[in-house]
A and B are shown apart, each in its own frame.
Chain A
């Protein structure tokens, strides 16, 4: 096996294009995405407690009725119109936000509904830390954005008291993340239908001064995309090793190996080991670069290190499993199609579902569930949980899932590997 491994690593590493795909591309992409989409993630793990006021100026029912009128007057075909109506009836951005604040975040937030004037007074008297204003026509504008793709901006406004700097910024991040999730819904709408939309923007005001989004610390989104891109590009290492196997069959090197009487397990495990170590290095290099250049993953505790390393090892094993399976199928059918379909289509699907490009939080429940079972989804969840200091219990669930995945890959590879003879 060692012999095969050494050869595979050399063949892989002497290929400049492959090196670029393995290291340069994910680095460039994570940099671009990390800066461009900052604010998607709330990176802070510190627990906090705050009092907020919710000022609802929006009329949900009225907004929906207005939208229904817009829909009926639009030029859309009947099918699309009824589908959109369906969505609009079942989807209430303001209610979801309310639910998020009063239920999902009830441990951190205590939310009181107030009128704007009341809330202002409360902030001045330091009774509350911040207020969130859901503006007039929020429902209408958001739905219009999402479903009709019209550029109508609706701004969620946070006003915080000068006494509550830290917790308010976390609150801001949460709201922003929420707002982004509408963008994701929109992405799905776009993928399945025709509409493009922009998310409602979020503004924060400190004593009347508005903070622009770019002034926020980019690190959290950088962390997210470091992990996302690293997880995604690991897939390409698996498909690359499989295309190398295809070259081996085409150039009849594989015949030589077969005739030597070498066990299939030696050939396969050499490939798997090469993928495993390459992916481990890939993850290590990308995480380190992100940490050194962009200050991600800091402060770095020993526990974090152990957590991240453990997850990386399991993820690299999972990718090695994929590499072994792709290799098996490639030599079995002597075709490059399998590796091609994997890197061309399956990786994109995994990347989307698993959250490499955008957080899955905004996807429908079922899609999220699916994403949680993609290998990169499992790894990303585990990394996130580890970074948020959620403790070993959470991570272990994903490690178990990954282990199951690894086992399936290994078994499939060994069962499907062509014994003794190839060809018809």
Chain B
């Protein structure tokens, strides 16, 4: 069981992480969600024993690992946000090197190397230099290396950043299998809502260094249970129309979407007629209307007042 208690990290004056309490039970899959600069990487660096917290504690099975990092290190696998590999070495040479720093040798090393390369689907490219790999392949190898020593806990920092949907899908499936079938405990950082929704049992939402909410997907959505969202698809954006909607007391929030506007309104009180009236007044032509129950994305918006990504 991995736990952070009142964890805080200050860089000079800037508070990167503030009073973070996280709990990661054995076999659980936890998502850490937050926009750029929320403090996700800083928080997990402290858990990974890489940087010292300014305040607070991190415990592994109830023992502090601030003073004894070696309690956690051997059973911890990390997937850094960067591609933490030697680009001048081949996939196989990388796997060999990182296997050896975990004291794997001989036949065991060969077997583990083969196994992880197969797991990430790179067996037939293992002789090639990493710098010749595509972004998705590099990301996959980045994960493979973290699994070599069969860790109990794996911490992944945005492992799917900047790759094609296919590679991303592959990685998500793989992580889910590791968690569900092999009982690997997972802490997964991302700013992709759908990834955490798909993978994680529980979700922590971070903003400005603070954990502002946590719970299962359903619990988080319940925060907005009294609301629903209306999506208006517009022929072209009309700013006066948006302003008019914002002035309207029965509409809680208006956000700009790529093809129109999104409105959050109280449940059972959607004044559609009023909306159409305003549209007519401002010459806005509505081509489509969708009424939805709120998504996690809406919850995030509700909590932080901003979108996960721009």
Instruction: List residues of A whose CB falls within 8 A of some B CB.
Output: 3, 6-7, 10-11, 14-15, 250-253, 255-262, 420-424
B76 interfacial contact with A, CB 8 Å: yes
A251 touches B88 (CB 8 A): no
B50 near A421 with CB under 8 A, answer yes
Across the interface, do A255 and B84 meet the contact criterion of CB distance under 8 Å?
yes
**When the two chains form the complex, which single residue of B48, B81, B88 contacts A259, counting CB atoms closer than 8 Å?**
B48
Let me know if B50 and A7 touch, CB within 8 A: no
The answer to whether A10 and B88 have CB atoms under 8 Å apart is yes
Residue B100 lies at the interface, judged by CB distance under 8 Å to chain A: yes
B93 close to chain A: CB less than 8 A: yes
Given A255-B50, A259-B48, A423-B52, decide whether A7 and B86 contact each other with a Cβ distance below 8 A.
Answer: yes
Given the interface contacts A3-B100, A260-B73, A424-B51, does A14 sit within 8 Å of B81 by beta carbon?
no
In angstroms, how far is the closest chain A Cβ from the Cβ of B99?
A: 9
Partner of A11, one of B11, B51, B76, B86: B86
Say yes or no: A10-B89 contact (C-beta < 8 A), given A3-B97, A424-B51. yes
Find residues 34-86 in chain B having any chain A CB closer than 8 Å to their own CB: 45, 48-52, 69-70, 73-74, 76, 78, 80-86
Contact call A256/B73, Cβ cutoff below 8 A: no
Asked if A256 and B69 sit within 8 Å, CB to CB, the answer is: no
Q: Which residues of B contact A14 (CB under 8 A)?
A: 88-89, 129
Q: Chain B residues with Cβ under 8 A from A10's Cβ?
A: 86, 88-89, 93
B102 at the interface (CB under 8 A from A): yes
The complex places the Cα of A252 from the Cα of B85 at a distance, in Å, of 8
Given contacts A11-B86, A251-B84, A420-B69, contact A259 B93 (CB under 8 A): no
A266 to chain B, nearest CB (A): 8
| Docked-complex contact A251 and B85, CB < 8 angstroms | yes
Which residues of chain A are within 8 angstroms of B88 by Cβ–Cβ distance? Answer: 10-11, 14-15
Question: Hey, which chain B residues are within 8 Å of A6, CB to CB?
Answer: 97
Question: Which among B52, B73, B88, B129 has the greatest number of chain A C-beta atoms within 10 A?
Answer: B88
Residue interface mask B87-100, A partner, CB < 8 A = 1: 01100010001101
User: Are A251 and B82 neighbours in the complex by a CB distance under 8 Å?
Assistant: yes
In the assembled complex, B279 has its CB within 8 A of some CB on chain A? no
Determine the distance from Cα of A216 to Cα of B100 in the docked complex, in whole angstroms.
58
17 contacts between A and B (CB under 8 A): A3-B101, A6-B97, A7-B86, A7-B93, A7-B97, A11-B86, A11-B88, A251-B84, A252-B81, A252-B84, A255-B50, A255-B80, A256-B145, A259-B76, A260-B101, A261-B70, A423-B51
Q: How far apart are B47's CB and chain A's nearest CB, in angstroms?
A: 11
> How long is the Cα–Cα vector from A7 to B89 in the complex, in angstroms?
8
Residues in chain B near residue A251, CB distance under 8 A: 80, 82-85
Q: For A262, list chain B residues within 8 Å (CB).
A: 101
A255 — which chain B residues lie within 8 A by C-beta?
45, 48, 50, 78, 80, 84
Residues of B within 8 A of A258 (CB): 49-50
Residues 231-264 of B at the A interface (beta carbon under 8 Å): none
For the complex, give the distance between the alpha carbons of A10 and B11 in Å: 36
Taking CB as reference atom, which chain A residue is nearest B54? A424
The answer to whether B82 touches A256 (Cβ under 8 A) is: no
Shortest CB distance A244–B (Å):
9
Are A423 and B100 in contact (CB-based, < 8 A)? no
B12 to chain A, nearest CB (A): 8
Nearest CB of chain A from residue B200's CB, rounded to whole Å:
23
A352 and B78 CA atoms in complex are apart in Å by: 47
B49 contacts A252, C-beta separation under 8 Å: no
Chain B residue numbers with a CB within 8 Å of A252 are: 80-82, 84
Residues of A within 8 A of B145 (CB): 256
Excluding A3-B101, A11-B88, A261-B74, 4 further A-B contacts by CB distance (< 8 Å) are: A7-B86, A10-B93, A260-B102, A423-B45
Which residue, A15, A258, A260, has most C-beta atoms of chain B within 10 A? A260
Residues of B within 8 A of A260 (CB): 73, 98, 101-102
Chain A nearest CB, measured from B135 CB (Å): 14
Known contacts A7-B86, A7-B89, A260-B73, A421 near B80 by CB under 8 Å = no
CA distance A252 to B45 in the complex (A): 11
A7 to B93, CA, bound (A): 8
On whether the beta carbons of B73 and A261 are closer than 8 Å, the reply is yes
B11 & A424 in contact (Cβ 8 Å cutoff): yes
Closest residue of chain A to B83 (Cβ to Cβ) is A251
Other-chain residue from A7, A250, A259 in contact with B82 (beta carbon distance below 8 A): A250
CA distance A256 to B45 in the complex (A): 11
- Cα A258 to Cα B48 in complex, Å, equals 10
Q: Are the CB atoms of B80 and A256 closer together than 8 Å?
A: yes
B69 neighbours in A (Cβ, 8 Å): 261, 420-421
A3 to B73: give the CA distance in the assembly, Å.
Answer: 20
B80 partner residues in chain A, CB cutoff 8 A: 251-252, 255-256
Q: Which of B51, B84, B100 contacts A256 (CB 8 A)?
A: B84
> Which one of A11, A257, A421 contacts B52 once the chains associate, using CB atoms below 8 Å?
A421
- Say whether A256 contacts B89, CB under 8 Å: no
Closest B residue to A261 by beta carbon equals B73
Cβ contact within 8 Å between B84 and A259: no
Chain A hits for B100, CB < 8 A? 3
> Chain B residues with Cβ under 8 A from A253's Cβ?
84-86
- Complex: A421 Cα to B73 Cα, angstroms: 12
Query: Smallest Cβ distance from A424 to chain B, in angstroms?
Result: 6
Query: A residues within 8 A CB of B45?
Result: 255, 423
> B residues within 8 A CB of A261?
69-70, 73-74
B49 / chain A contacts, CB cutoff of 8 Å: 258-259, 420-421
Q: Which residues of B contact A3 (CB under 8 A)?
A: 97, 100-101
